[in-house]
Homo-oligomer: A and B are copies of this chain.
Amino acid sequence: MIKVTLIGSGNVAQHLFSAFNKSTAVEIVQVFSRRKETVSNLIPFDKITDSFEDLAEADAYIIAVSDDAIAEVSAQLSFKNRLVVHTSGSASMENLNDDNRKGVFYPLQTFTKGKEVDFKSIPICIESQFSEDYNVLKRIADSISDKVFTINSGQRRALHVAAVFVNNFTNHLYKIGSDICQEHQVPFEILQPLIRETAAKILSLSPNEAQTGPAKRNDQTTIEAHLDFLSDENHKNIYKLLTQSIQDNGTKL
């Protein structure tokens, strides 16, 4: 069994904990949490520590904390020359303290508190400072996911920016759709099958092939009618910019 210690008790740490708990290849040695009670429902109390001095030996230490805490937390580790990785999409591997061997273990998914996810289908992007550590990370990742990718820091940054577009910004478009429905007394649930199918479609078609709508077919009459219909200036601006972007994309092909 590979011995893993989790540092952190937030959303990502808790989801990783559940996944490792089901894995037969990984043993969770300890969980570090400043507030022990947040993980006490997950793990026997004697395996939780709130002291960096108490961290036992492990094959890998996975720091699952917010981006701006990574440097500070990794600097507080009292040992040297062990494998220490973070789970962030945007933080550089270099944010980790130089005393230990560095790596990244980035599960690319949006985690919701309390909502089970099927880790097998979650891509895990791994990177290591030293090639001899790569295999350890690979074995840990393989034990919980069927989709493990070797991704360097530059690629990971690209993925993280792309993820902002397909997750954060997409969700904001859902919000605008929901606002428009609410303003006109239409139940937002009517749009949910469309939202699901829009996401499902790009499993078989490229986003370029899947594009439909007034912007794509240069239907200026409908575009004008929609802009006229929208009462919110911000919604109008977003409608215009994205319509223009779809149209420019069409002419570039």
- Bound form: Cα–Cα A248–B234 in Å: 10
Q: Mark A171-184, 1 if CB is under 8 A from B, else 0.
A: 11111111011011
Q: B225–A90 contact, CB under 8 A?
A: yes
**Copies per assembly:** 2
In chain B, what residue has the closest Cβ to A208?
Answer: B175
Q: Does A245 contact B (CB under 8 A)?
A: yes
Q: A199–B199 contact, CB under 8 A?
A: yes
Tell me the A residues contacting B by CB distance below 8 Å. Answer: 67-68, 90, 108-110, 112, 115, 117, 121-123, 125, 147, 149, 151, 154-155, 157-178, 180-181, 183-187, 190-208, 210-216, 219, 221-222, 225-226, 229-230, 234, 237-239, 241-242, 245-246, 248-249
Q: A237–B229 contact, CB under 8 A?
A: no
Q: B226–A172 contact, CB under 8 A?
A: no
List of B residues within 8 angstroms of A245 by Cβ? 172, 176, 234, 238
Once A155-B185, A195-B202, A200-B196 are accepted as A-B contacts, the answer to whether A239 and B164 lie under 8 Å apart by CB is yes
